[in-house]
Homo-oligomer: A and B are copies of this chain.
Amino acid sequence: MARAYNVLAPTCPSSRLLHRIGARWTIFILAVLSDGPARFSVLRESIPGITSKVLTESLRSLERDGLIERAEIDTVPDGAEYAMAPLGWSPWGPLNGGREWAETHVPDIEAAQARADVGDVA
């Protein structure tokens, strides 16, 4: 069964996808924005553990990739709002597939790890 792309090629789209989606905070940001547009401060408060710096970097990167959109809004002190771009919705299909896989199999992986850590000396 031939593959449309060679998965081993450095330009492999799947590889690029994983690099983008696999980035530490991408999924969290997209998760928040999937509930609607949000401001910088809302994002920062919604995502426990993220710092301004990393949030800024992640948002710029996602914007650059066309997954989200940034709009300045004319409010009291400055104001910026981030929203899903059309492209930003698209990964949720595969991602939900991935989520189902994860919910099903992560316990298996943890069991395997536990077995390995105890030492398979049985």
Contact = CB atoms under 8 A, between A and B. Distances in A.
Interface stretch (A6-14, A51-59, A76-84): A6-14
A56 to B, nearest CB: 15
- Report whether over half of chain A's contact residues are helix, strand or loop; otherwise say mixed: helix
Contacts of A98: 14, 17-18, 21, 94, 97-98
A22 B13 contact: no
A99 B13 contact: yes
Interface residues of A toward B: which range?
A: 35 or more
A46 B111 CA distance: 30
Contacts of A99: 5, 13-14, 17
A113 interface: yes
Contact of A5 (B19, B65, B103): B103
Given A8-B31, A14-B99, A64-B116, 12 more contacts: A5-B99, A13-B102, A14-B98, A17-B102, A18-B22, A22-B22, A63-B116, A64-B112, A64-B117, A66-B111, A93-B101, A97-B97
